[in-house]
A and B are shown apart, each in its own frame.
Chain A
Amino acid sequence: MGSGAGDLAIELVGISKSFGPVQANRDIDLAVHRGTIHGIVGENGAGKSTLMSILYGFYQADSGEIRVNGKPTRIPDSLAAIRAGIGMVHQHFMLVEPFTVLENVVLGAEDGALLRPSLAKARAELKRLEREYELDVSPDAVVGELSVGLQQRVEILKALYRECDILILDEPTGVLTPAEADHLFRILEHLKSEGKTIILITHKLREIMAVTDAVSVMRRGEMVKTLTTSETSPAEIAELMVGRRVLLRVEKAPAVPGPAMLDVEGLRLVDEQGVERLRGIGLTLRAGEILGVAGVAGNGQSELLEVLAGVRPATSGSVRLKGAPLDLSRSTNAGDRREAGIAHIPEDRHRRGLVMAFDEWENSCLGYQGEARFRGPALTLDRTAIRDHAREAIERFDIRPASCDLKTANFSGGNQQKIVIAREMERDPDVLLVGQPTRGVDIGAIEFIHRQIVALRDRGKAILLVSVELDEIRALADRIIVMFDGRISGERLAAETDERELGLLMAGIDLVEHAQTASN
């Protein structure tokens, strides 16, 4: 690092920002060198997103200075950020889905009232960008029909089209398949070699190690340290993030599988568009084991989870819980499933698992609002009982801030997830369906959540774990099935497989068949 101030693309000096009583950023200094990939890591609520939002003009800092290319710059809104050469690729894409790639790129950067000249110019410019950065996307493709990885490329193209030299990427690989993520990193390397500066916000230490030149660690609104990536280790970064040592592996005893709890046979699902999402799934989930469902997102895992949880009807097939068949015909069976002893931690806590506008205590009984212990006189709910119960959960699961009267949306992602997990685990369900338990959750909470899942298994419960994080599946599951294109493409014992084998299965390559064809 140590080079002169002249080659700094971004310099933040003493940035502070508070929201009411919450100090999101406290006296932050950050220097990002031109032509580097600079990672920013930190737990949820560490203030990374706030800091980047200040840099991109969504928020105004309460105090401090932003310097872009050495010049003090005021960034009151995102237009000013773009003018200063800063582009941002958001975690949730800002694209108009029915528009074509070209239209999306031009949107907001049209030259005049007439569209045609702008589009023609953009088409030529896109060709050049594609050549230069290997960002090939067909300009006439409709964005809504593109894969997530390609949509992200459109976002990058948008920033480049606006002549941004500094690119901020917020959790860019959260929605990507491993192959897409690799491709993204190649693109980033390429952009770097062309002199662009990239700021990468992520939870994933492996990505930090793989692509960044420098990494800044944030904790509780403060900048802890900036390190040169080649001189540090994941363990060091993780320690700086949480302020104590973290287990990156889950410690657990070998599973002692008991009787079959859930029997799935010939499960098929054809969705509203006529696409076959599940093509005959069969599996057995036993008591006392964690069955991991691996696979690239979008290969039917979500649908499997939803059918089992009773929020989506199946087209055909059967599911038996301890021998008794479950109703698969309606999308409103979630209540019956809970009563039968199947709890569900949904993949999308924002949309499904929680009502964000509710107070925490109201969410602490969501789905269980009909239980006798929450019932008050007449048709009312017993608010005292629910709040006591919520407070207990807050204490047991260390949910912070420890207030059941706070609006759920004001909790950080990890703590929101803890609210869901506390609610679903607390009843000691026979079967727990878990989807992406640690998506968008910080390392400290991941460790906690993993320990809870293992503890439930050790109490003899059956757990079906769906996750797109292969690391998580491998760390937690006792047995792994891999889904590809609505089918189970393979089953392995966790102890007897490796990442390479699972990766092939996730890509839909049947190893046995593969071997046979090879020997023929």
Chain B
Amino acid sequence: MKSALPRWVDFALIPLLNLALAFFVAGLVVLVIGENPIEAMRLLLVGSLGSSYGIGYTLYYATTFVFTGLSVAIAYHAGLFNIGAEGQAQLGGLGVALVCLALPWPAWWLALPVAILGAGLFGAAWAAIPAYLQAKRGSHVVITTIMFNFIASALIVYLLVNVLKVPGSMAPETAGFPPGTFLPTMQEMLGRVGVSVSKTPLNLSGILALVAAFLTWVLIWRTRLGYEIRAFGHSEPAAVYAGISPVKITMVAMLLSGAMAGMMGLNVVMGFQHRLVLDYVAGAGFVGIAVSLMGRSHPVGVVLAAILFGMLYQGGAELAFDMPSISRDMIVVIQALVILFTGALENLVRLPVQRLFLRRRAA
């Protein structure tokens, strides 16, 4: 039987308990390899949040994860498991690069709207074929999007090696973008209002990510389309009964999802690297799945989970630097534990907490 837990328990207490559990087990692992877990935890926190430099990097990573997390979340509301954010983000980056290289843009604010369009269109286009195959042929979107991730990376390799590479260069990457396309960094923006922070890759895209999260919330919970997406996601027969076309919703949700994944290109390609390099996505599409799961596919949850994963990325890098016996791989283990406890083992904590609350209420 379903029981209504208070919202704060559902959305705050249980995730925090899961997180605590994840860190506890991670601490045991750290203990086993002979390091002090409390010191490791301190380094991780200080590395990610202890300075404007750390915070900048944390939020830069978080921005990326917000985009890919929202991408997975949108499809999830339509009952579709989009594993293809990785490939869609690759293509989104290509879209951004083509826009930025097309013209000698005089100012970023002229280039940005077109770059958003490019990122969205390319990301959506990469989701379109799996979406169509799902909608019309019933080919499972999980399978097709995974396959499209491989096709995307092969395509990008081909383009960067054979087509977009700067002649004479050895690096498989595009030419650098004209400076007129560089998105303002957070350092520049805050400097203008008199706040001085360290130079980090964090850029305007961070704000765009929050806007995207807000728009996703409006879409899913406030618009008619979002209503139809959720109805379809919960029950296809009910959606058909309500006059909703499954083909249309499958296509629209996957296209929006792909476009959202493509937006990642704004943060990394246009905001920081200023060129398209090989595999710029680097697994962020897959992290998006964990972010969406942990954030329960709600935009607020996605933003919070993205910040957590940003902390793990940045703090983890610092930790690996300061504690040489903790390698990069150890950081991956800690991240995996967080995913395991917050995603897969969620009921481990949920059931006891539920029981506790029901008993207390009964008393």
Contacts and interface: CB of A to CB of B under 8 A. Distances in A.
Interface of A: 18-21, 59, 62, 309-311, 331-338, 344, 346, 348, 351-358, 362, 366-367, 369-370, 375-376, 378-381, 383, 407, 409-410
A141 to B, nearest CB: 29
Contacts of B239: 355
Contacts of A334: 240-243
28 contacts: A19-B1, A62-B362, A311-B240, A311-B241, A332-B246, A332-B247, A334-B240, A335-B244, A352-B237, A352-B238, A352-B240, A355-B234, A366-B241, A367-B241, A367-B243, A369-B227, A370-B243, A376-B222, A378-B223, A379-B223, A379-B224, A380-B218, A380-B222, A380-B223, A381-B223, A381-B224, A407-B4, A410-B4
A310 to B, nearest CB: 8
Contacts of A380: 218, 222-224
A367 B2 CA distance: 26
A355 B238 contact: yes
A271 to B, nearest CB: 16
A221 to B, nearest CB: 14
Nearest to A354: B238
A355 B235 contact: yes
Contacts of B247: 332
Contacts of A367: 241-243
B224 A351 contact: no
Contacts of A344: 241
Given A334-B241, A380-B222, A351 B227 contact: no
Contacts of A375: 224
A332 B3 contact: no
Mostly, the B contact residues are helix
4 nearest A-B residue pairs (beta carbon): A335-B243, A367-B242, A334-B243, A352-B241
B362 A18 contact: yes
B240 A353 contact: no
Contact of B2 (A311, A348, A409): A409
Interface string B14-34: 000000000000000000000
B253 interface: no
Interface in B72-102: none
Contact of B224 (A59, A357, A369, A407): A369
Contacts of A369: 224, 227-228, 242
B189 interface: no
Nearest to A351: B237
B234 A356 contact: yes
B361 interface: yes
Interface of B: 1-4, 218, 222-225, 227-228, 230-231, 234-235, 237-247, 358, 361-362
A20 B237 contact: no
B2 A366 contact: no
Given A369-B242, A409-B2, A410-B2, A355 B231 contact: yes
A463 B47 CA distance: 70
Contacts of A376: 222
A354 B238 CA distance: 6
B235 A356 contact: yes
Contact of A407 (B2, B230, B237): B2
Contacts of A362: 227
Contacts of B228: 369
B224 A19 contact: no
Given A357-B234, A369-B224, 18 more contacts: A19-B1, A20-B361, A59-B1, A309-B241, A310-B243, A331-B240, A334-B243, A335-B244, A337-B243, A351-B235, A352-B235, A352-B237, A362-B227, A369-B242, A370-B224, A378-B223, A379-B224, A381-B223
A358 B241 contact: no
Nearest to A407: B2
Most buried by A among B4, B230, B238, B247: B238
Contacts of B234: 355-358
A56 B224 CA distance: 44
A375 to B, nearest CB: 7
Contacts of A19: 1, 3, 358
Nearest to B3: A20
Most buried by B among A20, A333, A362: A20
B249 to A, nearest CB: 11
Nearest to A366: B242
Most buried by A among B239, B242, B246: B242
Contacts of A62: 362
Most buried by A among B231, B245, B246, B247: B231
A21 B361 contact: yes
Contact of B4 (A20, A346, A355): A20
Contacts of A20: 3-4, 358, 361
Contacts of B235: 351-352, 355-356
A305 to B, nearest CB: 11
Contacts of B243: 310, 332-338, 367, 370
